[in-house]
A = this chain, B = another copy of it.
Amino acid sequence: SRLEETIKKTVSDNPVVVYSKTWCSYSSEVKSLFKKLGAEALVFELDEMGAQGPQLQKVLERLTGQHTVPNVFIGGQHIGGCTDTLKLYRNGELEPLLSKAKAK
Q: How many copies does the complex hold?
A: 2
What 1/0 flags go to A26-52 for Cβ under 8 Å of B?
A: 100000000000000000000000000
On chain B, the residues within 8 Å of A26 by CB distance are 25-26
Q: In the complex, which range does the number of interface residues on chain A fall in?
A: under 10
On chain B, the residues within 8 Å of A103 by CB distance are none
Kindly provide the distance from the CB of A81 to the nearest chain B CB, expressed in whole angstroms.
Answer: 9
Kindly provide the distance from the CB of A42 to the nearest chain B CB, expressed in whole angstroms.
Answer: 22
Is A17 engaged at the interface, CB distance under 8 Å to the other chain? no
Which residues of chain A from 56 to 101 have any CB-CB distance to chain B below 8 Å in the complex?
82
On chain B, the residues within 8 Å of A24 by CB distance are 24-25
Closest-by-CB residue of B relative to A82 is: B25
